[in-house]
């Protein structure tokens, strides 16, 4: 009896601590939903999955993109990726007359379910894209159980393609 009661308590509380995926709503108006598995229906209804362990890295990547979009500039990178666990943010530069614009797409694959969320489009100005990314950052940071004040994380850029003049 002394052994059975603790085992029952552990088994009862184990599923509650197994939640490892945060489902972010694309409109940023619905609350963040925590789950241990995702379905295609959740993706279809407007949720974007993100592993809870990678939220701080994802947030740091968003901050890097927000800072990049806030400054009008010409960069030498054609495209690059920012990784946060199984989430990848793919950024493609589109040269324009008064500074570059970007196509930015966030992708996640969890348990054979893939999801995408467009963060920036070349047709909209960088200021509008920066506001959208800032809105996403505020949405994540507003949820205190998921997000705590970040330590200084610097994004690591992957698969960078540099413009060649030749």
pLDDT in tens, 98-126: 778 899 999 999 988 999 999 999 999 99
Model-level pTM greater than 0.85? no
**Band of the pLDDT at 165, cuts 50, 70, 90?**
low
Nearest Cα neighbor of 110 from 40, 56, 57 is: 40
DSSP 8-class letter at 111 = T
Nearest Cα neighbor of 74 from 163, 165, 166 is: 163
How many CB atoms are closer than 10 A to CB 158? Answer: 12
- Tokens for 139? 């949405």
Query: Three-state DSSP class for 164?
Result: coil
Residue range 56-63: mean pLDDT, rounded: 91
- Tokens for 110? 């969890």
Q: CA–CA separation, 140 vs 58, rounded Å?
A: 10
- Percent of the chain beyond pLDDT 70? 80
């Amino acid at each position: 009896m002394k052994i059975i009661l603790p085992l029952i308590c552990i088994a009862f509380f184990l599923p509650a601590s197994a939640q490892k995926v945060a489902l972010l709503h694309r409109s940023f108006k619905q609350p963040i939903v925590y789950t241990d598995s995702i379905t295609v229906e959740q993706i279809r209804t407007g949720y974007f999955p993100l592993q809870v362990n990678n939220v701080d890295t994802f947030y740091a990547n968003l901050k890097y993109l927000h800072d990049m979009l806030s400054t009008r500039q010409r960069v030498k990178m054609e495209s690059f990726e920012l990784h946060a666990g199984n989430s990848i943010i793919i950024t493609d530069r589109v040269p324009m007359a008064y500074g570059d614009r970007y196509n930015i797409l966030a992708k996640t694959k969890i348990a054979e379910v893939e999801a995408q969320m467009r963060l920036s489009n070349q047709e909209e100005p960088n200021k509008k894209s920066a506001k959208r990314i800032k809105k996403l950052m505020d949405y994540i940071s507003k949820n205190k159980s998921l997000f705590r004040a970040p330590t200084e994380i610097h994004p690591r850029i992957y698969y960078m393609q540099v413009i060649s003049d030749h």
